[in-house]
């Protein structure tokens, strides 16, 4: 197991790791945006949505903020145990990122609101599992995921309602 001093040795290594986590999270966001953007004015504009559906412009800033918070949380976990010592927690983190990216493909890319709903339910479970796995590495890492969990919970309700309406 890598010691925390190995994982976090040197400010350059720490900074590069933080940049790597931010880049990975923003890349997931970029993939989601690339799949989503073409359908905002098309398919998405034509489906029935609930009255509590947020305006389209809010999603970019919210998701960008959430991806940065997620990256910082993963970086904090990495700092405590390195890749070896934090492997289970970081693998859960990678799983929830994959589920996050898959949702955009299912909902916007394939127009499969039903499969997107199943995916987002799995995403919720993966976020909770990630938070639990992050907690032993430091409470701040788990707490940084709370806004993400709250937003995805809201998105789950929204996805469910859109599924029911369509």
**pLDDT the model gives residue 81:** 83
Count structural domains, the chain: 1
| Domain span including residue 26 | 4-46+55-165
How much is the pLDDT for 127? 98
Are 116 and 44 contacting, i.e. CB atoms less than 8 angstroms apart? no
Q: What is the pLDDT of residues 13-40, one digit of tens each?
A: 889 999 999 999 999 999 999 999 999 9
According to the model, what pLDDT value does residue 3 have? Answer: 44
Q: Say what the pTM is.
A: 0.91
- pLDDT-flagged residues of the chain (< 70): 1-9
pLDDT of residue 7: 53
Q: State the pLDDT at residue 8.
A: 57
pLDDT of residue 135: 97
Q: Classify the C-alpha dihedral 127-129-132-134 as positive or negative.
A: negative
CA distance 29 to 27: 5
């Amino acid at each position: 197991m890598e010691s925390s001093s190995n994982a976090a040795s040197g400010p350059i290594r720490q900074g590069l790791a933080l940049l790597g986590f931010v880049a990975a999270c923003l890349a997931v966001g970029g993939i989601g945006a690339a799949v989503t953007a073409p359908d905002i004015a098309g398919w998405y504009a034509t489906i029935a949505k609930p009255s509590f559906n947020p305006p389209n412009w809010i999603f970019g800033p919210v998701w960008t903020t959430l991806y940065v918070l997620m990256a910082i949380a993963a970086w904090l976990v990495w700092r405590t145990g390195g890749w070896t010592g934090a492997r289970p927690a970081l693998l859960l983190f990678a799983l929830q990122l994959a589920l996050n990216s898959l949702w955009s493909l299912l909902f916007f890319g394939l127009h499969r609101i039903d499969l997107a709903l199943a995916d987002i339910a799995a995403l919720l479970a993966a976020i909770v599992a990630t938070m639990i796995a992050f907690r032993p590495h430091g409470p701040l890492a788990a707490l940084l995921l709370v806004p993400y969990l709250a937003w995805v919970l809201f998105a789950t309700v929204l996805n469910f309602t859109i599924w029911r309406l369509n």
